Amino acid sequence: MTDAAPYTPPKVWTWDAESGGEFAKINRPVAGPTHDKDLPVGEHPLQLYSLATPNGVKVTVLLEELLALGETGAEYDAWLIKITEGDQFGSGFVDINPNSKIPALVDHSTARPTRVFESGAILLYLAEKFGKFLPADPADRAEMLSWLFWQMGSAPYLGGGFGHFYAYAPEKWQYPIDRFAMETKRQLDVLDRNLAGREFITGADYTIADMAIWAWYGQLVLGRLYGAGEFLDVTSYRNVRRWSEAIDARPAVQRGRMVNRTFGDADMQLHERHDAGDFDTRTQDKIMPQPEKAED
């Protein structure tokens, strides 16, 4: 336990801009734009403004899955929003998402452009638009929606709670790490029990609930989030691991992970996606200057 003096909250909280750890410079207690900046618009009806965080990956996975099924109307331009540089506070982005969080989508195929924000809302909007990855049976649909909203409600404990205090806070504090690790492991146990008798989250069919949950908990179990796999003993959740690996092997999921990605191996980074051919020609390993070879 820490030897630091206990914190006594003041009567009225005031913002200390230096207290937020790694993301202090992009977190603030007010909304609205900080600068004027229009968003680019490409040639496809669907315009996505995002980054390959788990919430961004949900949407690009769905779009790539729709395209894999031959849904040409799901062609999209994916524009990079650099959240550490404050792109999400530009006036154009705030017009699409007043909450200044990625991802945000504009559908230009409608009578007037339709904005959609919040990753779960985008998944549901696209699934309904194309009639895919969404059960038709009312009971199955209710089950799927329950798990989709479970993820939306649970992820703040994983990302904003556990991930922040374990990986990003300026100091390691035992109490919040223990508190959020306990909740994260409880959520993994919820998933593990559910998947004990099911191939996918809601049964035999792969749905947007799988995509949403995999982007967070699947990648956590695969060791891709916060460097916390060993700490959380993720290998003990065998059913979640089996499900995670099966989804990870899908070609559309592999492509979706690459879109708007700015970290990791260069061959897995596709900063912007405007055409299916970009996966073959525009990843960072292909467009970055190559180091010169030393002369013999």
What tens digit of pLDDT does each residue of 17-42 get? 766 666 666 788 999 999 999 999 99
How many domains in the chain?
1
Domain region containing 233: 138-255
How far apart are the C-alpha atoms of 77 and 41, rounded to whole Å? Answer: 8
pTM of structure: 0.94
Is 66 a domain residue? Answer: no
Q: What is the pLDDT of residue 296?
A: 46
Is 185 a domain residue? Answer: yes
Is 1 a domain residue? Answer: no
Q: What is the mean pLDDT of the chain?
A: 94
Is 192 a domain residue? Answer: yes
Which stretch of DSSP H or E encloses residue 205? none
Q: What is the pLDDT of residue 288?
A: 82
Is 142 a domain residue? Answer: yes
| Between 242 and 289, the higher pLDDT residue | 242
What is the pLDDT averaged over residues 180-184?
Answer: 97
Question: What CATH number is attached to the domain comprising 231?
Answer: 1.20.1050.10
How far apart are the C-alpha atoms of 216 and 148, rounded to whole Å? Answer: 12
Q: What is the pLDDT of residue 279?
A: 98
Is 94 a domain residue? Answer: no
Is 249 a domain residue? Answer: yes
Rounded to the nearest 5°, which phi and psi values hold at 249? Answer: -80, -10
Is 268 a domain residue? Answer: no
Number of CB atoms found within 10 A of residue 83's CB: 18
